[in-house]
Structure 1
Amino acid sequence: MKWLDALTGGYASLILYGLAALAVVAVLGYTYHAGYSRADAAWSLKYEQREVAITKATNAEVSRISQANAQAKAIEAKRLDELAADNAALEQQIKEKSDEADADPDRDRPALSNDSRLRIDAIH
């Protein structure tokens, strides 16, 4: 130590304390960085797992919505076909009743005949 004191002009103890303080700061910095890196890795893993779960749930919901829409469209198409068939049957019935009304000998009377009333009621 005396040779260091002679070499540095009496500042050997100050240099040694400075080196010790530097070593303590380096150890604390390394420990902080290692702990931060470990925590960062843990939180990154949790974040990635959460993102995967959210993506999976989103895809499941989109699939469910697509299936529900397809089912609703199929039901709608079936109902439209039923309505078109009902409409065609009603138009045919109206045409038949109109033809019957044209052939009715009492069609020019000012009041409804019994057959006219039955034809009108048949449409409802």
Structure 2
Amino acid sequence: MNLDTLTGGYASLIKYGIIAAAIATAFGYTYHLGSSHTAAVWSAKYEKREAEIAKATAAETSRQAQANAQAKAIEQQRIAELEAANQALEQLIKEKSDEADADPDRDRPALSSSAGMRIDAIH
């Protein structure tokens, strides 16, 4: 029996339809593979970018922490220097005050030369 007789003369049309459907399926599958590949490529690029941003953020945070620690160390050193200078000045003032108390001319209405020298030593 002939296929044309069975299909009422539409055998060629059915054959071309099946071929067209197979071609359309092949194109659709190829398109799907291409879009999946594109999505995977963009996903990899995004993940790489996010990793680079995280790495840069961690590096900047570390740099800032180091800069802050260094600034605090310098600050502590400067505070220690100022405290030492302040203690030395307080000691000098105490010595000059003791000298002034021991000065026999301390009750004079004018400053003696030794009193002027004591005042100048503080400056």
Number of residue pairs the alignment of both structures matches: 121
TM-score relative to the length of structure 1: 0.82
Query: In the alignment, what sits opposite 1:88?
Result: 87
Q: Normalising to structure 2: TM-score of the pair? A: 0.82
**Could you tell me which residue of structure 2 aligns to residue 33 of structure 1?**
32
Calculate percent identity across the aligned residue pairs. Answer: 65
Q: Deviation digits for residues 33-80 of structure 1, max 9, x if unmatched?
A: 111111111111111221221111111111111111111111111111
2:4 — aligned with what? 2
Report the Cα distance in structure 2 between the residues aligned to 1:110 and 1:15, rounded to whole angstroms. Answer: 133
Taking the aligned partners of 1:38 and 1:85, their CA distance within structure 2 comes to 70
**Structure 1 unmatched runs, 5+:** none
Per the alignment, residue 110 of structure 1 pairs with 109
Root-mean-square deviation (CA), in Å? 2.0
Which deviates further from its counterpart, 16-25 or 88-97?
Answer: 16-25
Superposed CA offset, 1:2-58 (max 9, x none): 24424xxx6656655554443343223212211111111111111122122111111
Q: Distance in 2 between matches of 1:38 and 1:56?
A: 27
Tell me, in whole angstroms, the C-alpha distance in 2 between the residues paired with 1:115 and 1:102.
12
Q: How does 1:32-111 map to 2 (within 5 A)?
A: 32-111=31-110
- Looking at structure 2, the residues matched to 78 and 4 of structure 1 have their Cα atoms a distance apart, in angstroms, of 104
Runs of at least 5 residues in structure 2 that lack an aligned partner in the other structure: none
AA at the equivalent of 2:113:
N
CA–CA distance in 2 between the matches of 1:122 and 1:25? 103
| More displaced 10-residue stretch of structure 1: 94-103 or 16-25 | 16-25
Distance 1:56 1:80 in 2: 36
